[in-house]
């Protein structure tokens, strides 16, 4: 029973006979729903429906005593006895609870007419749980009625739709000073060099500062931004980038520990400031133009973007304010007029683009900060003044402090793996201009024959040889399109990646690694690379076209959004064979998910998207199984069992990569990971195919990560799944990678699980695809695709 009051009633009813709880549950629910609250004067049922519920006696009056069945009389007597005893227990329990609550109650009382601050609790204001910059209190508001020393009725603003009765523990006296008023901010610009503010006064408030290791990690970001502490009054700045000091003229001593309000001046628009306060109060992100002043008094236009950072429970810890000076792009006229997109007419188009860039960039900074906080690298130094109530436990923080340096380096892999600064721009893409040679198993395919004819003619494969047909998908660095090799009728998938975006996001190494990995593959369940080339703006990879689309879309097409077990077994078996080949090549896939499992024209799978894969080394081994003499004698076996082939990548990685719902615990903790992360992802994939969703999905990224680390694996009872399938998922989703299925003997260990009994692993590629509720292929669509114009304009 979740409700505490209902649980208390039920306990009092069944104390004499615990096994009768299922019979008493309806009585407990009726009693709970009809109990009138002292503060509101209404029962829960009345609050929802407006009237009290009608009981059995209201619907069917009791017969006269002369016609009463003796058994009915006995039942009534028993109920009266039970209810009398339960009432006495409830009164005793309530009195004990009141004594305990009174002993912890704050000894403060308010009178009618007093003004107080009302704390916004998560149960009463659930939206504030996810609004990262929302205010923690509202007020001051007036007390209009004293119900009792513990409950007060307040005069709330009209826009707040909740009960106006508050417990005393959620009320804070309003002293009439400016302590709370400062939280919303004043428009004044105090002199930063005032004595006593930053002169080393020992009595001054000590603000938490960023550790040196984390400061080094933050300094790799080239943007101008500040990090403020949302847990302190007035949101003091705890870190500012070098660009901020260059833009404003202030020094670190003049900035750290203060609110950004000191940049405002006499001509700063109060309406703009009000919008910022409103965004902070109600939990909105903010992006807009603001007139600020440099230290010397020079005004400048500041494109300000504010975004929050929360912990794993959703509480706001920090927020990032990114700032871009846009003075030279501001004309200074038509200041009060706005365009249809909401931007002032005094901003030219460049500023509109800059606003989009600012929003995207601050999101990247926030995501990096979220990961840092979650895995223990908090934005607080060793001189933390007071512990946060919702921080990571001290034991966890102390343990993770040992890994601060390596974790800070690995939070954003792109920062750590920047291309060589001395490399010429044209040398970054030289690998993509190399000729691709056919592999043994695909050499005689029609696709390779068509490609080979062009190569034999002395030409290099380029963009001119392909005709665009339609877009297939898009990613963060480019898009994938269906193309035809001109004059041949052969279809291919072309992945075109924008060089500028790759450079800006520091993903050159990933693009090169993906090309190198694709050139190594020669397997029926993996794509073949036919060509790679570059244009002035893009690099292109030509691979197999899979007309069946994504496994994710196939799941979505099914009526129940799940697959039957025989279909799950078929697709999982082929994924295992593909992973076995990758691991044998020294490749850790690291991005297994339904979106990356494509379906070929014959219904078999093909893994795709290797930009997150890690290329290491592999040393294949033959493992001799241990002989169990007792079992061998029972089964009459003679001789030794056949040796087991095992090939798993040898080197571990510390990179923080993957899709959050499929990411393994060891990646989150930063402890280093091996190919065992692929077997974890296989367990998540099995769960999603069988149940329609992933097991550790949370409302926020931090909640998902917390679930991955701590939440128990549960199997819903409303869907029939075999015991063997549950056991397989349980063993694949073991949080300790050393004990995870597949970690000791590789893919062979997974293959031997009873769930795959009946699979002929040597002939998996010859298996017939399963029959699906919704067919894999439908009639061809003839509608024009608008994405084709973008491809022809941007790439061709």
Give catalytic residues, as residue numbers.
591
| Cα→Cα distances 274→137, 180, 279, 294, Å | 18, 16, 9, 21
Query: Is 495 annotated to bind ligand?
Result: yes
Across 656-776, where does the E strand assignment appear? none
The candidate with the shortest Cα–Cα distance to 230, out of 167, 165, 183, is 183
Residues 607, 575: contact at Cβ < 8 Å? yes
Token pair recorded at residue 321: 């304010």
What 3-state DSSP class applies to 522?
Answer: coil
Report whether the peptide linkage leading into residue 451 is cis, meaning its omega lies within 30 degrees of zero: no
In terms of Cβ atoms closer than 10 Å to its own Cβ (0-12, 13-18, 19+), residue 586 is buried
Backbone φ and ψ of 429, nearest 5°: -110, 15
Pairwise CA distance, residues 547 & 600, whole Å? 6
CB count in 10 Å sphere of residue 585: 19
- Side-chain-side CA neighbours of residue 739 (13 Å): 6
**CA-based max dimension of the chain:** 111
CA atoms of 654 and 668, how far apart (whole Å)? 10
Measure the CA angle with vertex 615, ends 610 and 618; round to 5°.
130
Backbone angles phi, psi at 770, to 5 degrees: -70, 160
Tell me the β-bridge partners of 310: 316
Q: What is the DSSP letter of 376?
A: T
- HEC states along 600-638? CCCCCEEECCCCCCEECCECCEEECCCCCHHHHHHHCCC
Residue 671: Cβ-neighbour burial (10 angstroms; 0-12, 13-18, 19+): middle
Residues β-bridged to residue 597: 607
- Which element (helix H / strand E) includes 654? none
User: Helices 4-13 & 21-34, crossing angle to 10 degrees?
Assistant: 130
Please give the full DSSP string across 568-579, using - where no structure is assigned.
Answer: HHHHHHHHHHHH
Asked whether the beta carbons of 334 and 345 are under 8 A apart, the reply is yes
Residues 355 and 342 sit within 8 Å (Cβ to Cβ): no
Neighbours of 433 (CB within 10 A): 13
The Cα–Cα gap between 116 and 114 comes to 7
- The gap from C-alpha 18 to its chain's centroid, in whole angstroms, comes to 43
What is the C-alpha separation between 330 and 327, in angstroms, rounded? 5
For 682, residues 6+ apart whose C-beta sits below 8 A from its C-beta are 572, 575, 576, 579, 592, 732, 742, 750
Q: Which residues are annotated as a binding site for ATP?
A: 495
């Amino acid at each position: 029973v979740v409700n505490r009051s209902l649980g208390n009633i039920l306990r009092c009813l069944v104390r004499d006979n615990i096994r009768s709880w299922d019979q008493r549950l309806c009585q407990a629910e009726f009693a709970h729903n009809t109990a009138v609250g002292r503060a509101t004067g209404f029962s829960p049922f009345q609050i929802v429906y407006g009237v009290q519920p009608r009981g059995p006696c209201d619907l069917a009056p009791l017969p006269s005593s002369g016609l009463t069945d003796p058994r009915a009389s006995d039942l009534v007597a028993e109920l009266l006895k039970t209810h009398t005893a339960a009432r006495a227990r409830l009164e005793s329990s309530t009195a004990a609870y009141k004594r305990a609550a009174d002993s912890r109650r704050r000894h403060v009382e308010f009178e009618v007419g007093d003004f107080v601050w009302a704390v916004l609790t998560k149960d009463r204001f659930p939206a504030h749980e996810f609004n990262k910059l929302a205010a923690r209190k509202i007020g001051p508001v007036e007390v209009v009625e004293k119900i009792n020393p513990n409950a007060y009725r307040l005069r709330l603003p009209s826009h707040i739709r909740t009960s106006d009765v508050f417990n005393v523990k959620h009320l804070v006296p309003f002293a009439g000073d400016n302590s709370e008023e400062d939280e919303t901010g004043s428009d004044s610009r105090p002199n930063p060099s005032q004595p006593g503010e930053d002169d080393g006064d020992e009595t001054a408030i000590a603000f938490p500062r960023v550790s040196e290791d984390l400061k080094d990690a933050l300094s790799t970001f080239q943007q101008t931004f500040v990090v403020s502490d949302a847990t302190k009054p007035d949101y003091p700045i705890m870190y500012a980038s070098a660009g901020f000091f260059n833009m404003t003229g202030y020094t670190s001593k003049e900035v750290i520990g203060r609110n950004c309000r000191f940049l405002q001046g006499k001509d700063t628009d109060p309406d703009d400031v009000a919008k910022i306060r409103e965004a902070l109060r109600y939990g909105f992100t903010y992006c807009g133009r603001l007139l600020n002043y440099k230290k010397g008094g020079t005004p400048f236009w500041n494109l300000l973007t504010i975004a929050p950072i929360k912990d794993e429970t959703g509480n706001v810890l920090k927020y990032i304010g990114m700032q871009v000076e846009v003075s030279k792009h501001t004309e200074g006229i038509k200041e009060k007029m706005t365009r249809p997109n909401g931007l002032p007419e005094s901003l030219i188009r460049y500023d509109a683009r800059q606003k989009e860039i600012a929003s995207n960039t601050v999101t990247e900074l926030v995501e990096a900060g979220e990961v840092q906080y979650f895995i223990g690298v908090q934005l607080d130094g060793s001189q933390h003044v007071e512990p946060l109530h919702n921080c990571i436990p001290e034991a966890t923080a102390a343990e993770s402090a040992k890994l601060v340096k390596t974790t800070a380096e690995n939070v954003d892999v792109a920062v750590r793996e920047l291309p060589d600064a001395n490399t010429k721009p044209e040398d970054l893409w030289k690998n993509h201009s190399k000729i691709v040679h056919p592999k043994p198993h695909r050499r005689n395919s029609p696709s390779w024959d068509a490609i080979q004819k062009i190569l034999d003619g002395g030409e290099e494969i380029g963009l001119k040889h392909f005709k665009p047909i339609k877009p297939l998908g898009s990613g963060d660095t480019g898009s994938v399109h269906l193309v035809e090799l001109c004059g041949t009728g052969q279809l291919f998938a072309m992945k075109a990646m924008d060089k500028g975006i790759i450079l800006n996001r520091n993903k050159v190494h990933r693009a090169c690694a993906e090309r190198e990995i694709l050139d190594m593959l020669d397997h029926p369940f993996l794509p073949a690379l036919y060509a790679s080339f570059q244009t002035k703006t893009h690099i292109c990879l030509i691979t197999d076209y899979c007309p069946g689309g994504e496994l994710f879309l196939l799941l979505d097409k099914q009526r129940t959004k799940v697959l039957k077990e025989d279909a799950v077994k078929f697709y999982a078996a082929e994924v295992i064979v593909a992973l076995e080949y990758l691991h044998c090549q020294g490749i850790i896939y690291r991005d297994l998910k339904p979106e990356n499992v494509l379906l070929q024209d014959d219904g078999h799978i093909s893994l795709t998207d290797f930009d997150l894969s890690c290329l290491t080394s592999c040393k294949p081994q033959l493992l001799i199984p241990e002989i169990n003499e007792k079992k061998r004698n029972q089964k009459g076996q003679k001789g030794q069992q056949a040796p087991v082939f095992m090939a798993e990548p040898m080197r571990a990685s510390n990179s923080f990569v993957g899709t959050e719902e499929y990411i393994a615990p060891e990646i989150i903790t930063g402890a280093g990971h091996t190919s065992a992360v692929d077997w974890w992802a296989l367990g998540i994939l099995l769960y999603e195919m069988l149940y329609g969703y992933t097991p550790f999905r949370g409302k926020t990224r931090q909640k998902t990560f917390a679930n991955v680390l701590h939440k128990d694996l549960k199997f819903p009872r409303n869907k029939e799944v075999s015991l063997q399938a549950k056991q397989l998922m349980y063993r694949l989703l073991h949080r300790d990678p050393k004990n995870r299925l597949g970690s000791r003997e590789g893919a062979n260990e997974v293959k031997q699980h009873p769930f795959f009994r009946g699979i002929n692993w040597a002939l998996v590629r010859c298996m017939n695809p399963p029959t699906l509720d919704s067919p894999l292929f439908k009639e061809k669509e003839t509608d024009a695709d608008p994405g084709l114009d973008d491809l022809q304009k941007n790439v061709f």
